[in-house]
Amino acid sequence: MPDTPPEPLSVDAGNPRPRSATIKDVARLAGLSPITVSRVLNNPAAVRPETIARVREAIAQTGYIPNLLAGSLVSGRSRLVAAIIPRLSNSMLVDFVQGLSDQLEARGYQLLLGLSGYPVEQEEKLLPAILSRRPDGVVLSGTDHSDETRQILQAAGIPIVETWDLTANPVDMVVGLSQEEVGAAMARFLLGKGRRRFGMIWACDKRARKRYDGAMAVLRAQGIELVPTVEVSKFPTMGLGRLGLSELLAGGEAFDAVMCSSDTLAQGVLTEAAARGISVPQQLAVMGFGDFDFSEHTMPPLSTIRVDKRRIGVLAANALLARMDGGQPAQRVIDVGFEIVERGTT
Amino acid sequence: MPDTPPEPLSVDAGNPRPRSATIKDVARLAGLSPITVSRVLNNPAAVRPETIARVREAIAQTGYIPNLLAGSLVSGRSRLVAAIIPRLSNSMLVDFVQGLSDQLEARGYQLLLGLSGYPVEQEEKLLPAILSRRPDGVVLSGTDHSDETRQILQAAGIPIVETWDLTANPVDMVVGLSQEEVGAAMARFLLGKGRRRFGMIWACDKRARKRYDGAMAVLRAQGIELVPTVEVSKFPTMGLGRLGLSELLAGGEAFDAVMCSSDTLAQGVLTEAAARGISVPQQLAVMGFGDFDFSEHTMPPLSTIRVDKRRIGVLAANALLARMDGGQPAQRVIDVGFEIVERGTT
DNA sequence: CTGTTAGCGCCTTCAG
DNA sequence: CTGAAGGCGCTAACAG
């Protein structure tokens, strides 16, 4: 990059990317045919050790880097897996993607990241662009997809995993947990602690909504009908949690428990409660969802629902891998479950 | 996926992926040549509107999805950008990747995510795999790369952006900020507040190290030589922050300021201080780095250094885009700067 | 504005 | 164990 030698006058000074070494260059240098080089790379077991050495040498000399575009085109396998998720900033998804990527990379696959944004329908726009790279598998976040999306995906004829939720009718496979069950478990848990006057601070997001419905069903079964609820944006922050509690309190009702759709919100509630001198858990129980890194260090430590976020990614990768490597289809529906973590706020 | 019709007895029941529609199928159906279909997709301005309509119709009927592997192979442009970063869980990187992806997608590029893991040398392993997909550009996290890496990258002949740090000698381009300056600014700021007895809680990570050195240089210039330091892992958590303060205190020294390599650690310090009845900022000033979402909501709100994480991604994308779209080379070194955010802990 | 020709770089298939 | 032929699906370059 430093001092490029002055080029001889040329009409077009544009630099046509210097053609990089191809399999032929390597073959010529090694005095072998291209196919032999190819075999060294893809199926070394079928080549004599000496030959391998010769090829390796030639590869090193030429700095050859195989062109997977060409390879994939003819082999029909791209070793690429696409993940389509709305955005990374959803803290649940970060660990998930990390698990996915780790597992995939270990098996020689790579991750094409499609950040579709909200609303979910955006996913439909991204899909053709993604599919045009001929991934060997696709991972989707959530189970709510447009008919169009489902159809295109089916037609692609590759393994698909939906994640985070559960459904009896997956596009292909699904790895997740029952969101309704989570909500129900939260409600039951708090009820068991003797709480009766509930407030909810909830993000308006489809999966969160299911947890909400699950909780409300349990509450209603107990004859608890009036449950003041503050809806906040899809992107929960501590600030929104604080605001949420303020709004709830402004309603004039008395509460003995606040459920939040995420730990981030719950942390905000804790902060606002402290600022107002409301003692947690004595006067108010608080419960979140997610068990984020900070959750055991809030004051008091936050009671929440733990989901193994990374594991969802790992299992999704495995489900794909099983099919892509031609193994038998894994289970179509995998429930990773969840766990109530009782700490100091309940 | 539901009821696949029973195939006539065949030796191999393996399902060879049903060959999907190609540009020829579309061309035939539209009564045109393949190249015309190609033009409708890549350069519609060069095609008569009626013809476009005919082609669009045929595409819809066949469910044709272009094969970019083939297209990229011949055109020499993959419309793919690779980002190589150690791991997502580093909270600074999430917003960064989001910015990168948003900007790239808006311009029709997609993101290949390479999570290299630590140590940084791992990056070298991933590189050939990434490059074999022939990305049009590469984004790297940090500026510390092995010679091998730098060389392979140069040889690839594509635009490269390093990020987060600054260097006079980038592989190609760099978008970041001076880490030493950040450390120096933190030290100066705290000194200006009259603090003199410093403790450091610092992650052992290369960039954090530079901030540390920057801070220490300023401190030493003031004759402050003894600065007890607790080193923690690369992966800062609140728990480590708490532990960090405990260890610092166990040393028996008296402190009036604690600097942390990240807000996460600082939040832990705040928690531990509260638990011990140490009043912040009266007895102890605390300062972090990053200005995370939670930082304005801690108690008291955290003083920190703000970096526009997303913007680094956006500018990195722009730098690449300028070159990939054949425009003029952007500036080679872009300093995004930073900002001291004074809140309640100093 | 549309078509023809020729190959991108590699791997499958079949032959030695 | 190694090689020759052929083509994956598409687009650059050149004609018309």
Which one-letter amino acid corresponds to residue B322?
A
Position A15 pLDDT exceeds 60? no
CB-based contact B299 A274, cutoff 8 Å? yes
Q: Which chain B residue has its CA at the smallest distance from A74's CA?
A: B70
- Outline where chain A has alpha helix (H): 23-30, 34-42, 49-62, 68-75, 91-106, 122-131, 147-156, 179-192, 206-221, 238-250, 263-276, 309-324
Count other C-beta atoms under 10 Å from residue A299's C-beta: 16
Q: In the structure encoding, which two tokens stand for residue A311, read together?
A: 């594991």
Strand order in the sheet with A173-176: A333-335, A173-176, A160-164, A137-141, A80-85, A110-115, B110-115, B80-85, B137-141, B160-164, B173-176, B333-335
Q: What is the pLDDT of residue B346?
A: 93
- Report the C-alpha gap between B55 and B47 in whole angstroms: 10
Segment B89-103 shows an average pLDDT of 92
Q: What is the pLDDT of residue A35?
A: 92
How many Å does it take to go from CA A35 to C1' C14? 13
CB-based contact A296 B239, cutoff 8 Å? yes
Cα four-point dihedral sign B17, A80, A90, A117: negative
Which one-letter amino acid corresponds to residue A326?
G
CB-based contact B296 A97, cutoff 8 Å? no
Digit-coded pLDDT (tens) for B117-126: 888 788 989 9
The strand C neighbours among A residues 198-237, by Cβ under 7 Å, are none
Q: Angle at the Cα of A135 (from A133 to A136), degrees rounded to 5?
A: 155
**Integer CA distances (angstroms), A96 to A135, A163, A256, A308, in order:** 19, 10, 34, 9
pLDDT band at B90 (very low <50, low <70, confident <90, very high): confident
Position B9 pLDDT exceeds 50? no
pLDDT band at B10 (very low <50, low <70, confident <90, very high): very low
Q: Sort strands A229-232 and B333-335 into parallel, antiparallel or unpaired.
A: unpaired
- Report the C-alpha gap between A68 and A46 in whole angstroms: 21
Strands (E), B177-228: 198-203
Digit-coded pLDDT (tens) for A292-332: 988 998 889 999 999 999 999 999 999 999 999 876 777 89
Q: If you classify domain A1-66 with CATH, what class do you get?
A: mainly alpha
Q: In the structure encoding, which two tokens stand for residue B304, read together?
A: 């920190």
Position B1 pLDDT exceeds 70? no
Position A246 pLDDT exceeds 50? yes
Digit-coded pLDDT (tens) for B124-146: 899 999 999 999 999 999 999 99
Nearest nucleotide to A67 by CA–C1' distance? C9
* C-beta separation of A340 from A346 below 8 A: no
* C-beta separation of A73 from B69 below 8 A: yes
Segment A328-340 shows an average pLDDT of 90
- Report the C-alpha gap between B333 and B137 in whole angstroms: 17
Tell me the three state secondary structure of residue B3.
coil
**What stretch of H or E contains B279?**
none
Q: How far is Cα of residue A212 from the mean position of the Cα atoms in its chain?
A: 21
- Report the C-alpha gap between B203 and B259 in whole angstroms: 11
Domains A78-177+309-338 and A179-306 belong to one CATH topology = yes
CB-based contact B271 A299, cutoff 8 Å? yes
Question: DSSP assignment of B6-54, as one string?
Answer: PPP--S------PPPP-HHHHHHHHTS-HHHHHHHHH-GGGS-HHHHHH
| A chain contacts of residue B133, beta-carbon cutoff 8 Å | 68-69, 80, 110
Digit-coded pLDDT (tens) for B22-53: 999 999 999 998 999 999 999 898 888 889 99
Count other C-beta atoms under 10 Å from residue A10's C-beta: 7
Digit-coded pLDDT (tens) for A68-84: 999 999 999 999 999 99
CB-based contact A275 B299, cutoff 8 Å? yes
pLDDT band at A263 (very low <50, low <70, confident <90, very high): very high
pLDDT band at A9 (very low <50, low <70, confident <90, very high): very low
Strand D bases with any atom < 7 A from protein Cβ = 1-13
Q: What is the pLDDT of residue B121?
A: 81
Position A90 pLDDT exceeds 90? no
Q: What is the pLDDT of residue A159?
A: 95
How many Å does it take to go from CA B73 to C1' D9? 10
- Report the C-alpha gap between A313 and A297 in whole angstroms: 26
Which one-letter amino acid corresponds to residue A235?
F
**Integer CA distances (angstroms), B196 to A338, B255, B256, B282, B284, in order:** 48, 8, 7, 14, 11
Position B77 pLDDT exceeds 90? yes
CATH of domain A179-306: 3.40.50.2300
Count other C-beta atoms under 10 Å from residue B281's C-beta: 19
- Report the C-alpha gap between B285 and B119 in whole angstroms: 33
Position A39 pLDDT exceeds 70? yes
Q: What percent of chain B has pLDDT over 90?
A: 82
Segment B244-253 shows an average pLDDT of 94
How many Å does it take to go from CA A12 to C1' D16? 27
Segment B315-335 shows an average pLDDT of 88
Segment A335-346 shows an average pLDDT of 96
Digit-coded pLDDT (tens) for B102-112: 999 999 999 99
| A chain contacts of residue B132, beta-carbon cutoff 8 Å | 65-68
Segment A168-173 shows an average pLDDT of 93
Q: What is the pLDDT of chain B when averaged over all its residues?
A: 91
Out of B113, B117, B326, name the one closest to residue A113 (CB): B113
Closest chain A C-alpha to B239 CA, distance in angstroms:
7
Which one-letter amino acid corresponds to residue B43?
N
Question: DSSP assignment of A284-325, as one string?
Answer: -EEE-SB--GGGGGSSSPPBEEE--HHHHHHHHHHHHHHHHT
Question: What are the structural domain ranges in chain A?
Answer: 1-66, 78-177+309-338, 179-306
Q: What is the pLDDT of chain A when averaged over all its residues?
A: 90
Out of A73, A89, A157, name the one closest to residue B95 (CB): A89
Digit-coded pLDDT (tens) for A143-159: 999 999 999 999 999 99
| One-letter-per-residue 3-state SS of A22-61 | CHHHHHHHHCCCHHHHHHHHHCHHHCCHHHHHHHHHHHHH
| B chain contacts of residue A171, beta-carbon cutoff 8 Å | 1
Digit-coded pLDDT (tens) for A191-230: 999 999 999 999 999 999 999 999 999 999 999 999 999 9
Q: What is the pLDDT of residue B18?
A: 60
pLDDT band at B12 (very low <50, low <70, confident <90, very high): very low
* Beta bridge mates, A309: none
Q: In the structure encoding, which two tokens stand for residue B333, read together?
A: 């070194």
Cα-Cα-Cα-Cα torsion A59, A63, A64, A67, nearest 10 degrees, comes to 150
Q: If you classify domain A78-177+309-338 with CATH, what class do you get?
A: alpha beta
- Report the C-alpha gap between B166 and A232 in whole angstroms: 39
Digit-coded pLDDT (tens) for B182-227: 999 999 999 999 999 999 999 999 999 999 999 999 999 999 999 9
Q: What is the pLDDT of residue B16?
A: 46
